[in-house]
Chain A
């Protein structure tokens, strides 16, 4: 009725028109996931197996350069590890940790957000205040603290076995708040809608209303945030590993490889840092392209963080 009402004809017909860029992004994401999954079968050598290292062929340039060895087409690192294999395995580690952090953070955040939004009162106050305090510390700082503390208490924390767990915890401890806030706000909106009020008048139990009525209606922003956060989590993991508190060099993620390579940048041995960095950026960019499109598509109001 009002002038502000969107013109209906203009809104129609915008089904699944995926721009080419998003299709490419999606293809890249799928491809990289597949490679990560199949790394042990694709990679020429096992970069986690010290026996495969050959110090004699350390710091070999990529195959296309004058001194390159065709056996190592992206070259080798300072320990003679095949860089191509290391990148494939590193991608696997990065994606696993990023995805793990997103899963943990989203599960915690959705449950707490639903509870806070639906019940309000002190449940809401406690959850949101804890979230406020956590958010008042930047992700990277909190993650550094968590892994720093973990290392100080628990000497095993830096090993290939435990580092992923610590990393997932260190990232998720900050990221859950965002899900909780979004879900809480969406839950409050949905809970005030008449279909939820109708369910309450009918007498359905709270748990049933939350799970069956509200949850499906608040999940689309969660999916969008999860996609965008996957990119952010991969970046955080890479940053932590780059700073030396992430994955150990014996089981490197992309960030660890860049850290190793960074020491050699000045001596002209650029490939150890550059190839993992390019891989990382392509991975994150592809996820971001898809996430961005999802955000605009499902929820134009959901703004960037």
Chain B
């Protein structure tokens, strides 16, 4: 039997800190990757999966050190006495694929130079020989016109092509093991599918062992043979993909897999434990009472009619002006109390639509009205207050210099929704409780909170002006999967509670399926299909929708335990 491509026994990685304490990033991990096998290493942020990848690639950052354990690559033991993986010849024994193909190639050198330098160094090839091999590699990774591409600079390639070049560079010296760190996270679904296919092919045809570091369970189900789930530096469960994902044993593994939104069936709630503070239920009741009153309570229909948004790219004196049409005549309506999904790949114009509705971008033509009142760039106070937005990145969504209460109370005071300052602060505290945080949280600054908590705060702030309509732009795509599930549940609760309408923007079909009542699919600035959720998933009518659905990496191929809700 051939020796394993990678065998790790009892690996521990420490970060000794300046004050003498030690943070253990990885502790007692065992892992084996057979030749030709794709072994997925999954876990949420801080699980230690990236640290393992870094250690193997020789990129462990000081003061991090391999404290103990045994590593063998292709049967060859690795010297770890110095705290680093000495003896691994990076590039020759281990190939690496990074997440972002836009930054992992040097912009000043050609593809040929970047592929050839590795081979000339490790294999002592001549320039001509290196070129011949580079050409072969480019063909092997499926780049069109390889002869021309050899002379190209990275900026002349598309994202998918760049990632193929990165893969070719990882392969060029015939390593037994490839470490792929989130290789498709920065890519669109359609490109992701191609790259995953390519990686699968490499394992099958070349017998390379691949350690796939990822957070995406769908990707794991799609391509991996085995999977190891990590939590806080330790392995909680490991085994063949079908077994682990289909019937997880460990409680954390169960929760993690359960939290992955399903594409195949819509559940009323995502099966994760609700995170609520003691006052949540009472606070929600009060928030509902406040939001229910007043003449704006009648949530109007949001109607987007033939919306066109153009960005003018003004050139210089002789450049002329080039206009980019981001949105080309989009129309839809969102009924009161409805969650309406807008899906599409990056660059399809969905975010521009959201920005225009929220008044952050100016429409070129067309109209947006809420309950008959025009909104968008020129909107009156009533409409402005009635429509609020939740953003993608919870880290930048809160002003780092404002205390949480101040941030939430600001719109309350601005719209005179409270008679006194104390009342506004009380209102803010209630909102915090209603999104599942303690009221004491308000006294702190945003940096004291995790990503999920920040997103809760951002939602509380969006609710502060007592809106009737929420625009949510990818509200969970930068969150870990279990946190995502909680936030999605929270948004649903709020809709049920206060009769909010929600425009839900996402690239993730599974999330959209769980959240939305109706869905519109966007492509290149146009809506190609619009239908009630179940109908769309059961019988997609447009070819693009069908393609998207077929490309989504999902757990559906693995029989999952029916989840009790």
Contacts and interface: CB of A to CB of B under 8 A. Distances in A.
A and B touch in the complex (CB under 8 A): yes
A287 to B, nearest CB: 27
Contact of B389 (A4, A7, A198, A204): A198
Interface residues of B, number: 55
Contact of A195 (B15, B61, B396): B396
Interface in A172-221: 193-195, 197-204, 213, 216-217
Given A9-B23, A10-B15, A198 B397 contact: yes
Contact of A9 (B17, B359, B415): B17
Contacts of A8: 46
B411 A202 contact: yes
B61 A3 contact: no
B539 to A, nearest CB: 36
B249 to A, nearest CB: 26
B399 A1 contact: no
A212 to B, nearest CB: 8
B345 to A, nearest CB: 20
A7 B414 contact: no
B368 to A, nearest CB: 14
Given A10-B62, A10-B64, A201-B387, A194 B396 contact: yes
Contact of A2 (B61, B63, B99): B99
A13 interface: yes
Interface in B377-430: 381, 384-385, 387-389, 391-393, 396-402, 407, 410-411, 414-415
A305 interface: no
Contacts of A5: 50
A202 B414 contact: yes
B358 A194 contact: no
A12 interface: yes
Contact of B398 (A2, A9, A195, A201): A195
B397 A202 contact: no
Contact of A204 (B17, B392, B393, B414): B414
A3 B23 contact: no
A5 B103 CA distance: 13
B514 to A, nearest CB: 22
A203 B398 contact: no
B36 to A, nearest CB: 24
A193 B15 contact: no
Contact of B388 (A4, A10, A201, A213): A201
B162 to A, nearest CB: 15
A273 to B, nearest CB: 46
Contact of B410 (A10, A201, A204, A216): A204
Contacts of A193: 396-397
Interface stretch (B254-262, B277-285, B457-465, B505-513): B457-465
B25 interface: yes
B433 interface: no
B205 interface: no
B359 A4 contact: no
Contact of B18 (A3, A13, A198): A13
A78 B387 CA distance: 77
Interface in A6-46: 6-10, 12-14
Given A13-B17, A201-B359, A201-B389, A1 B215 contact: yes
Given A10-B62, A202-B411, A202-B414, A4 B103 contact: yes
Interface residues of A, number: 27
A201 B360 contact: yes
Contact of B392 (A13, A14, A194): A194
Nearest to B61: A7
Interface in B278-307: none
A12 to B, nearest CB: 7
B534 to A, nearest CB: 32
A114 B142 CA distance: 49
A4 B102 CA distance: 13
A302 B392 CA distance: 27
B360 A200 contact: yes
Given A12-B17, A13-B19, A194-B391, A202 B396 contact: no
B340 interface: no
Nearest to B388: A201
Interface in B326-385: 358-360, 381, 384-385
A216 B401 contact: yes
B414 A203 contact: yes
A3 B53 contact: yes
A186 to B, nearest CB: 13
A296 B100 CA distance: 28
24 contacts: A2-B98, A2-B181, A3-B57, A3-B98, A4-B98, A7-B61, A8-B46, A9-B23, A10-B15, A10-B61, A13-B18, A13-B19, A193-B397, A194-B397, A194-B458, A195-B396, A197-B391, A198-B391, A198-B462, A199-B399, A201-B359, A202-B411, A202-B464, A216-B399
9 smallest CB-CB distances across A and B, nearest first, come from A194-B391, A9-B15, A194-B397, A9-B23, A203-B384, A193-B396, A2-B99, A216-B401, A195-B399
Interface of B: 15, 17-19, 23, 25, 45-46, 50-51, 53-54, 57, 59, 61-64, 98-100, 103, 181-182, 185, 215, 358-360, 381, 384-385, 387-389, 391-393, 396-402, 407, 410-411, 414-415, 458, 461-462, 464-465
Interface of A: 1-10, 12-14, 193-195, 197-204, 213, 216-217
